[in-house]
Amino acid sequence: MATQIFTLVGVLIGALTSYFATAVAERAKFRREMATRWDERKLDTYIEYVTCIKEIQRAAMDAGRAREKGADASGALVTMEESENRRSILFETFILLSNEKAATAAHAVNQRTWELLRVARVPSSGITELRPIPLVEALNGLHEAARADLTISSSTRIR
């Protein structure tokens, strides 16, 4: 009788150990899958946001060049405003998904972008007035913060 109880206790301990090991492994797998899913979403959002910023910058520069040549800048300004509208919407997603450092860097990019927009909207401004706005430096800070948020080290970047 005692050997049967020992056997039963051994089976029970084995079953519980197996259950807990499986539960811990499944929980870790689920967390990894969720982290990967959110990292993919974050990366897509970061790329879209930076793309909008670059489109705004390019359109503002095109408007400045057109004005310096005495040409119509309205097409470039329309493109600039459309990109700004998209950037504004994407920024909300960016803030929801990013860490504090990346969000702070994105706020700095927004400030520089708004300076660029303000100057580009002035009918008399040309490319000379647009060039000194330090948007590229703000974008570099954003790139660094985004890489850190996505745990991409500088040694893994493609050069």
- Domain of 144, CATH number, reads 1.20.120
In a domain, 12, yes or no: no
In a domain, 120, yes or no: yes
Q: Are 93 and 100 in contact (CB under 8 A)?
A: no
In a domain, 8, yes or no: no
In a domain, 76, yes or no: yes
- DSSP, residue by residue, 104-136: HHHHHHHHHHHHHHHHHHSTT--HHHHTTS-HH
In a domain, 68, yes or no: yes
In terms of Cβ atoms closer than 10 Å to its own Cβ (0-12, 13-18, 19+), residue 128 is exposed
| Owning domain of residue 96 | 36-156
**pTM reported for the whole predicted model:** 0.75
* pLDDT tens digit sequence for 42-80: 999 999 999 999 999 999 999 999 999 999 999 999 999
Angle value at C-alpha 40, between 34 and 45, nearest 5 degrees: 125
pLDDT score recorded for residue 45 = 95
Number of alpha carbons in the 13 Å side-chain half-sphere of residue 81: 7
Average pLDDT over all residues of the chain: 87
In a domain, 73, yes or no: yes
Q: CA 63, CA 120: separation in Å to the nearest integer? A: 7
